[in-house]
Amino acid sequence: MKLGVFTVLFSDRQLEEALDTAQAAGLQAVEIGTGGYVGKAHLAPSELLQDKDAIERIKRLTTERGLTISALSCHGNPLHPNKEKAESDHRDFRDTVKLAALLGVDTVITFSGCPGDSEHSLYPSWVTCPWPPDFLQVLEWQWTNKVIPYWRDQSDYCRQYGVRVAIEAHPGFVVYNTETALRLRREAGDNIGVNFDPSHLFWQGMDPVECIKVLGSSIYHMHAKDTSIDSRNTALNGVLDVKPYSNELERSWIFRTIGYGTDEKVWKNIISTLRKAGYDGVISIEHEDSLMSVEEGLSKAVHFLNKIMIGDKAGEMWWA
pLDDT tens for the chain, 320 residues: list them.
999 999 999 999 999 999 999 999 999 999 999 999 998 889 999 999 999 999 999 999 999 999 999 999 999 999 999 999 999 999 999 999 999 999 999 999 999 999 999 999 999 999 999 999 999 999 999 999 999 999 999 999 999 999 999 999 999 999 999 999 999 999 999 999 999 999 999 999 999 999 999 999 999 999 999 999 999 999 999 999 999 999 999 999 999 999 999 999 999 999 999 999 999 999 999 999 999 999 999 999 999 999 999 764 333 333 33
Domain 70-308 top-level CATH class? alpha beta
Helix (H, G, I), strand (E, B) or coil at 259: coil
Report the length, in residues, of the chain.
Answer: 320
Please give the radius of gyration of the chain, using alpha carbons only, rounded to the nearest integer: 19
312 burial level (CB within 10 Å; 0-12, 13-18, 19+): exposed
Query: In the 8-state DSSP scheme, what is residue 33?
Result: E
- Pairwise CA distance, residues 211 & 216, whole Å: 8
- Pairwise CA distance, residues 223 & 316, whole Å: 26
* Domain range annotation of the chain: 70-308
Contacts of 307 (CB under 8 A, 6+ apart): 264
Its pTM stands at: 0.95
In the chain, the amino acid numbered 212 is: I
